[in-house]
Chain A
Amino acid sequence: MSATTAPPAEALPVEVSGTQAPLWWGMLVFLAVDSTIFAALISSYFYLRVTQAETWPPAGLAPPGLLLPALSGAVLLASAGPVLWADRGLRRGDGRALRLGLPLACALAALFLILKAVEFVARPYLWSTNAYGSLVWTIDGAHAAHVLAALLQAVVVAVLAWRGHFTPRRRVGVETAALFWYFVVAAGLAVYATLYLAPRLI
């Protein structure tokens, strides 16, 4: 029997982050689930368009306006900046970036939701008007719900940050929240391309 080949456990770090941390992988797999949900929704959108509709949008509806969604899309895209700043900052030990970046991102997400609400209210059709309406309301609504979830999560993380919970080594909570945020932004771009660009371009 050979002598022990195993390393002493005491030498291993206790606070793990990034790819070392199970939580990080858990978030990644969860995002795979969530991506599949968006993929199924977006496929349904194109499926109904291809099989059922002669014109798109159908029934004499005008294609969705470009300005307001572009504005809210830009706000959402911009919100990834402060999150990145906060995440990177914490890694360098810059607590200020974390404490300021998260509230800033939350404010941008809130602005996005307000712009979306304005857009929703102004829509000339409902989910019950026809299948096109059902698709737009459901996909856009599902994404807005994601933004709300990311916002609430970031609020909690920000509160913890202000209470001094995170350190450069204890940062996996921030990392996973940031991952979710980036995902929501990316999903927003996919939704934007589907609902607002595709009807005009293809």
Chain B
Amino acid sequence: MATLERPPTTTQALTRLWSTPAGLVGWLSAVNHRAIGARFMVTALAFFLLAGVQALAIRLQLARPGLSILSPEAYNQNFTMHGVVMMFLFAIPVLEGLGMYIVPLMIGTRDMAFPRLSAFGYWVYLLAGLGLFGAFFLGSAPNSGWFNYVPLSGPGFSPGANIDFYAVLLTFLEISALAAAVELIVTILKQRAPGMAIHRIPLFVWSILVMAFMIVFAMPALIVASVMLELDRAAGTHFYNPAAGGDPLLWQHLFWFFGHPEVYIILLPALGIVSAIVATFTRRPVMGYTAVALSTVAIGFLSFGLWVHHMFATGVPLLGTSFFAAASMMIAIPSGVQVFAWIATIANGRIVLKTPFLYVLGFIFLFVLGGITGVMVAAMPFDLQVHDSYFVVAHFHYVIIGGMVFPLLGGLFYWFPKMTGKLPGERLGRWSFWLQFIGFNLTFFGMHILGFWGMPRRIYTYLPGFGWDFLNLVATIGAFILGLGFVLYLANLAYSLWRGEPAGDDPWGGATLEWATTSPPPQYNFRAIPTVRSRTPLWDEEEPDDADRARDHTRRMVALPDEGREILSTTVVDARPQGRVLLPGPSLWPFWLAAAVGFIFYGMLFDLILVPIGAVLAAAALVAWHWPREEEEAP
């Protein structure tokens, strides 16, 4: 035991090895997974607020019939940007950022597999997001809806630059999502603590793993679709032009090959968050671990299958819709497995009703409701009735806000003490939850009915006398209550960061490894690499309430030599130690590479001459990035 005790200089040496230089250059060259993960989350939340303001503008415009707060063109840009920003700049990046931050802690490693790639992904994300908002403030944001159908978005009907921003900047942005996905996969496969075999991976980590795989196979379709669209618009190709042998439906197929999985890409990590919170706040592991893990994988697979049936539907309408409906039913099975596992866990557990758990309860309620309306739209005659109406708007906000935003807010609250060392305010947390819950239902429940009554989506105003006035006013009032709830939530976190009570290492009594280190964790996460013998390593000590259990834990740790940024690589299935890997330290090259790649993409928007220049710069940055560091050259 004592053989692993090291002289006190250990932590100093580790701190020196893993710290980031100060100053602006240091800030630009940071690669540590917690710094980058936090940047992803903070930036994504900022975009969330901006897209929320756009939603409020939409709701103001629709509060009464015949208002003219937004012009028709401004309305189009507002709802398109709202959808695009929520889906691409908020939902995916915030979950990836959370994964980047939490996963290495949860699996007991010191950083992501490719730290500089994390930083590169962040800069790409920031540059693309700023560009989209730049276009918005210049009044030429995308305006054809978030799924941007051709021919409306083609060169013939959208001559302005608006759609170029969509096609070019989304392609640029997806590089960031793909980079994060690659790293998350490799980190989870190769860097789990010794003993964290495949049947002991925390459920949250499972969900992030499946999300990352889905991104790998779904995003490229969107990239190909957008590149072909931009070529049609800028280079005179004819992919979507039926007059020259192209087909507008090709866009729809490629987009939905990405778009169907997309919904599950943002849903799955949220389910993982729920599993983590349920276990901690019921004081027991989620029941049916294997079933839940397998159903996570099954959802990943089936969400691609949905599209196949959807595609089938284009050729054989009636038969196809039956298949589509059947596939929708099938995906309800693994989702149902998870819901029942949580309910069984909750029913048998000792419940601690704190804010994160409140969010989970809200989620289960809203998710089940969204699921029911989902089954309703899966029925063909019903779908024809409510197609493109506000019923659909209500349905997908129930699924997305109920299914993803609520768990996310619960999860951020849950991990906030670990990230900052401060406890978030509980009272304000509850207030913000209830404001959001009530505001949300006020906003969106009535939209189901508006949909029945025939109100189409994506209209900038409506006439009085359809009987839509009252419900629209209610929705607008609800939206402001909901917005107040979000602002209160974020203000609570900001205030707690400044004034919160110290959290201690493990304020909620969690079972997974992130709670075994200090809050906030040191630069190197763990002084030595922990080993794991079960799914709930922190609950297995003889005396679960012993305050020293984290220290007990270190007795079984693997100490790495303090000679460089070393991590342990372990086998994919059994997590047996295989080797030590030296990670790179802070570097400016990720920033420069992102800038060079940005040059290529912005070049497409302004002048094609810039594209080859950017390509040369990017190649140079890549070479510099990969050039061996001195410590690598040492024999």
- Measured CB to CB, the residues of A under 8 A from B are 1-7, 9-10, 12-16, 19-23, 25-26, 29-30, 32-34, 36-37, 39-41, 44, 47-48, 51-53, 58-59, 127-135, 137-138, 152, 156, 160, 165, 170, 173
Contacts and interface: CB of A to CB of B under 8 A. Distances in A.
B245 interface: yes
A33 B220 contact: yes
Given A44-B239, A131-B237, A156-B623, 11 more contacts: A6-B558, A10-B561, A12-B577, A16-B580, A21-B569, A22-B190, A33-B220, A36-B221, A40-B221, A128-B236, A131-B241
5 contacts: A6-B577, A16-B578, A52-B245, A133-B237, A170-B632
Contact of B555 (A4, A12, A52): A4
Interface in B563-607: 566, 568-569, 572, 577-582
A25 B569 CA distance: 12
A14 B221 contact: no
A144 to B, nearest CB: 14
A22 B236 CA distance: 42
Interface string B537-577: 00000100000000010011111110000101100100001
B183 interface: yes
A30 B626 CA distance: 16
Given A48-B250, A131-B239, A29 B244 contact: no
Nearest to B253: A47
Interface stretch (B126-134, B146-154, B223-231, B463-471): B223-231
Contacts of B49: none
A53 B245 contact: yes
Given A6-B531, A29-B185, A44-B228, A22 B246 contact: no
B313 interface: no
Contact of A41 (B216, B217, B224, B241): B224
Contacts of A59: 245
Contact of A9 (B239, B244, B580): B580
Given A22-B113, A128-B238, A58 B580 contact: no
A130 B181 CA distance: 36
A34 to B, nearest CB: 8
Nearest to B563: A14
A13 B619 CA distance: 32
Interface in B180-195: 181-183, 185-187, 189-191, 194
A13 B579 contact: yes
B231 A52 contact: no
B241 to A, nearest CB: 7
A4 B580 contact: no
Interface bracket on B:
35 or more
A114 B52 CA distance: 53
A160 B227 CA distance: 35
A158 to B, nearest CB: 13
Interface of B: 1, 3-4, 113-114, 178, 181-183, 185-187, 189-191, 194, 216-217, 219-221, 223-225, 228, 231-232, 235-239, 241-242, 244-247, 249-250, 253-254, 257, 529, 531, 542, 552, 555-561, 566, 568-569, 572, 577-582, 619, 623, 626, 628, 632-633
A12 B244 contact: no
Contacts of A137: 237
Given A26-B182, A44-B224, A128-B238, A9 B568 contact: yes
Nearest to A145: B615
Contacts of B178: 33
Contacts of A32: 216-217
A3 B552 CA distance: 11
B239 A134 contact: yes
- A interface: dominant SS: helix
Contact of B220 (A40, A58, A134): A40
Contacts, number: 171
Contact of A13 (B114, B219, B580): B580
A47 B217 contact: no
A4 B182 contact: no
Nearest to A40: B224
Contacts of A16: 569, 578-581
Nearest to B184: A29
Contact of A127 (B181, B187, B237, B566): B237
A130 B189 CA distance: 45
Nearest to B232: A134
Contacts of B561: 9-10
A39 B249 CA distance: 18
Contacts of B557: 4, 6
Contacts of A128: 235-238
A113 to B, nearest CB: 15
B237 A21 contact: no
Contacts of B582: 14
B114 A22 contact: yes
B238 A130 contact: yes
Contact of A134 (B183, B246, B531): B246
Nearest to B235: A127
B629 to A, nearest CB: 11
Given A7-B558, A20-B578, A134 B189 contact: no
Contacts of A30: 182
A33 to B, nearest CB: 5
B175 to A, nearest CB: 10
Contact of B216 (A36, A130, A173): A36
Contacts of A160: 628
A4 B556 contact: yes
Nearest to B2: A4
The 4 closest A-B pairs by CB, nearest first: A131-B245, A134-B237, A128-B236, A16-B579
B216 A29 contact: yes
| Among B237, B245, B542, residue most surrounded by chain A Cβ atoms (within 10 Å) | B245
B217 A36 contact: yes
Nearest to B3: A4
Contacts of B219: 33
B320 to A, nearest CB: 16
